[in-house]
Homo-oligomer: A and B are copies of this chain.
């Protein structure tokens, strides 16, 4: 396992925010070692299309065994491990290049959705055990986050080189210093967020992909 690489992707700031916790976490984890796996943090542009080009470049360069993409979910209270990526872009606001696609497929030849290739229940349990608020989410939205999540899973499922690579997406809350200017918004300290992602990575690395995930009820009624 000495040559295992974990790629942690974090978006640049968007929607006029001064920073993005996704990148703040990714850059803090960059260079760390978890269970003999080396973490590489890479920034993604918050731009439809360009973000997937950056993803391709990072996959080629780092040849990771595990890819965790991170994005901001302003208004959520917990680290959200996404269960499913859907094949649609439907942007409520413009991306960082001014694009605002409505009901466009991420991949015209792709299926409606892909599930994360992660033991999501094991990961949630590990994060909670580490004292970090965490949940399974059944929607990653329809903006650049879901776009990258779907694009990642499309590559892992269609490119033979990545057939064994695991991957998924985690939405993270605002940082306190962002929420200080956004009355009512929930937040989470960057240290807590990093602790959560480290717990998730360790849980995934220890999980045998041949085994089924933890049988933990973490669904939603609606």
A residues at B contact (CB < 8 Å): 71-78, 80, 83-84, 86, 88-93, 100, 102-103, 111-115, 121, 127-136, 138-143, 145, 171, 176-177, 179-189, 191-192, 212-213, 215-222
Contact = CB atoms under 8 A, between A and B. Distances in A.
A83 B213 CA distance: 27
A219 B91 contact: yes
With a 10 A CB-CB cut-off, give which of A78, A132, A182, A219 has the most chain B CB atoms.
A219
13 contacts: A73-B221, A78-B183, A86-B115, A88-B219, A92-B220, A102-B219, A128-B180, A128-B181, A134-B180, A138-B141, A143-B221, A145-B221, A188-B189
B131 A177 contact: yes
Secondary structure class of chain A's binding surface, majority of residues: loop
A111 B89 CA distance: 20
A20 B83 CA distance: 28
A143 B222 contact: yes
